[in-house]
Structure 1
């Protein structure tokens, strides 16, 4: 009779051995199709000036990924390679933002201290709104407060459509929207 622990040990061995290898169909996987845990990607190099990944083009940058030791897969050129864990197997695309030199910190500071003069709107590239705020002394204070909140929540951005320069691990906000493909889970109330 087998020991009571032999089945779990066999299952763990099976999972570790067979999930770390490509399927036995004769064709090995492409390296960018490896499962999570079979590779590790380095963090991208971040530019000090833009606070975005270096070589960000078309809202995409690429991070180098290293397959785990003893993984065999096809590299981007189609060659089947057995990796030691030190070679780059593929480049994983990561999302990045388009920035053109407008600082989030400067925009918030201008809105807070000189918003009643329209300095925030001039800085962001809205000269007509800046002049309107200047001539009406910030819409008597109410407009300055509303603009401050809109800039703080990153709803109002630069006029050229670019994003603010915000620290890479800073207070970035991502807008979420509901579409027809969004799944709404019903709440169970007690």
Structure 2
């Protein structure tokens, strides 16, 4: 009789212990869910550093596939979960997460050079060779720019920037030192770098 009563006491103690651990586990999960991920912070709760700009292209050095990464710092006394799930309270100096910004993939092509080649050497296909269309360039060379008609059409297309580099990258429009600096902000759509007015450049090339 005594062993049965002792066994019941052991079972009851084990059951209460199991219930206690289950309650603690559920409470921990609830408290963890209340702390959101750092990537889901609202505007005003974090500040993103500006990207490192390449002086030649005026674009972020880390630009890949029209996207670049910048470091974001949560505001002081903000608590959030890092990418590894760790909860952290920030002082305003620590990097909490990375955010993407839009940028331009700049190739080695030049809009001015393309317009100049189309204007002066378009009849031998130099513009098409420069933009990466060797087959069309050779065809223009053999037909003397399609008797001038193809030269005129290509000049208009390149000037209006309808035709660009074959690799689909944007032409490298280098800024002058006097131009204002470029400021990249997260989640801001920017215009295509190849979409600039061609008329002033054409006049500049003609007038020297």
Verify same fold: TM over 0.5: yes
Q: Is the 8 A contact 1:153 1:173 kept in 2?
A: no
Greater C-alpha radius of gyration: 2
Distance change in 2, residues 1:152/1:34 (3 Å): farther
User: Could you tell me how far 1:134 is from its partner in structure 2?
Assistant: 2.4
Unmatched 5+ stretches in structure 1: 1-23, 175-190
Residue 112 of structure 2 aligns to a residue whose secondary structure is helix
TM-score (norm 2): 0.59
Question: Which protein has the bigger strand share?
Answer: 1
Conserved? CA contact 2:77–2:90, under 8 Å: yes
Q: 2:39 aligns with which of 29, 32, 37?
A: 32
**More displaced stretch, 148-157 vs 73-82:** 148-157
- Separation of aligned partners in 2, 1:25 and 1:81: 12
Are the structure 2 counterparts of residues 120 and 140 from structure 1 closer, same or farther at C-alpha, using a change threshold of 3 Å? Answer: same
1:53 aligned to 2:60?
yes
Number of residue-to-residue matches in the alignment: 151
- In structure 2, list runs of 5 or more residues that go unmatched: 1-30, 176-181, 183-190, 196-208
- Distance in 2 between the 1:130 and 1:26 partners? 62
Q: 1:172 aligns with which of 193, 199, 207?
A: 193
Q: How far did residue 38 of structure 1 move?
A: 1.7
Bigger CA drift: 152-161 or 80-89? 152-161
Flag the 1:75–1:147 CA change in 2: closer, same or farther, 3 A. Answer: same
Cα 1:37–1:105 change in 2 (3 A) is: farther
1:47 CA drift (Å): 2.7
Q: Quick one: which of 82, 85, 88 aligns to 1:81?
A: 88
CA 152–171 in structure 1, closer or farther in 2 if over 3 Å, else same: farther
Relative contact order (C-alpha < 8 Å, sep 6+): which is higher? Answer: 2
Aligned-residue CA RMSD (Å)? 2.9
- CA separation in 2, counterparts of 1:161 and 1:59? 12
The structure with the greater share of residues assigned to helix is 2
| TM-score using structure 1 length | 0.64
In the alignment, what sits opposite 2:140? 133
Q: Give the CA deviation at 1:100.
A: 4.4
